[in-house]
Amino acid sequence: MTSGKALAIGNFDGVHRGHQAILEAARTFSSGGTVTAVTFWPHPTSVLRPDQAPALLCRLSERVNLLKASGADEVSIVEFTRTLAAKTPEEFVEKVLCPLNPTAVVVGQNFRFGVEAKADGHQMRAIAQGRFEVEVQPIVVDEGRISSSRIRALLVQGNVEVAAQMLGRYFRYNGIVVLGDQRGHELGFPTANVTIPERYACPADGVYAGFLRCGSETWPAAISVGTNPTFDGEQRRVESYALDRWDLNLYGEKVGVDFVARLRGQMRFTSRNELVHQMRNDVAATRKALEGLTPGV
């Protein structure tokens, strides 16, 4: 096998362990050459069936960074359109793959392409006719099939622990810190607030232990997800209190919130004193949940 360019092809939303296995296989087939991750944007379902579009596990820029961190030397972004979806399998190979000059292509067992998405990796191998190798990577299974859709379902349940196992890292929600209601500061627990657009996945409403990241700094944090029902809030947000830090000014900064463990569901309190008492308990539970853990990269 000579050195060359291996393509790892997939939607890669979340870049979970199954996706990472495809990239690892591509590295093997490159034989010291380059690995190019070929990904599609926007999500195919959002183009073909907009009413069924899934909440994405990460933004495109985050996907690119994750792909490179998982072994891709470069990332090729293919715009997904109805025209692309209507191409025959032969046209897809000739117009999308061949111009990239691959010596090998690695796809997952469930990868489909061409009109009506009926062709798979085995048909791709037949179409390639020896111009490049095609490797079909089996689906990674860990207490069940690893997939982006299953990770989304786990987040809806608030099960960030199993989601992290499938991702190979803590689930991270990224966003820009916005000015909140200032109640956290008044209550003694100032928070960095990030809004949650519907098109992106986020864990279920509740309180979690995790880490707040900004630039090169990371702090253990108690994290609340929800609408703040005690004060009749309407906008769903991620609110992170960096433990023992009252001096942070993160407004306008991009932060990442890593979810480590779910502590409890969202609750409505009848008084400020009751809320503050519970917040103190949440902070104590956060310390315990994070004891001995180190933040990921």
CA dist 251 and 72 (Å) reads 33
Give the pTM.
Answer: 0.94
Nearest to 222 by CA among 239, 245, 236, 237: 239
- As a whole number, mean pLDDT of residues 185-210 equals 91
pLDDT digits (tens, 9 = 90+) for 244-276: 998 899 999 999 999 999 999 998 888 889 989
Let me know the angle formed at the C-alpha of 295 by 290 and 297, rounded to the nearest 5 degrees.
Answer: 165
In the numeric block, the tokens 């409505």 are attached to 268
Mean pLDDT of 64-89: 97
Please report, in angstroms and rounded to a whole number, the separation of the first and last CA atoms in the chain: 34
Residues of the chain with CATH 2.40.30.30: 171-290
Specify the pairing of strand 237-242 against strand 192-195. antiparallel
Mean pLDDT, to the nearest integer, of 191-204? 94
Burial class from Cβ neighbours inside 10 Å (0-12, 13-18, 19+) for residue 162 reads middle
Give pLDDT tens digits for 53-70. Answer: 999 999 999 999 999 999
CB 207 within 8 A of CB 222: yes
DSSP state of 97: I
Contact 106, 6 (CB under 8 A): yes
- CATH 3.40.50.620-classified regions of the chain: 5-137
- What's the Cα-to-Cα distance from 53 to each of 200, 219, 289, rounded to whole Å? 10, 34, 34
Instruction: Tell me yes or no: is domain 5-137 CATH 3.40.50.620.
Output: yes
Greater model confidence, 76 or 233: 76
Q: Percent of the chain having pLDDT more than 90?
A: 83
d(Cα 43, Cα 57) in Å, to the nearest integer?
11
β-partners of residue 137 are 108
Helix (H, G, I), strand (E, B) or coil at 275: helix
Under 8 Å between Cβ of 64 and 94: no
pLDDT band at 235 (very low <50, low <70, confident <90, very high): confident
Is 70 exceeded by the pLDDT of residue 181?
no
For the domain spanning 171-290, the CATH number is: 2.40.30.30
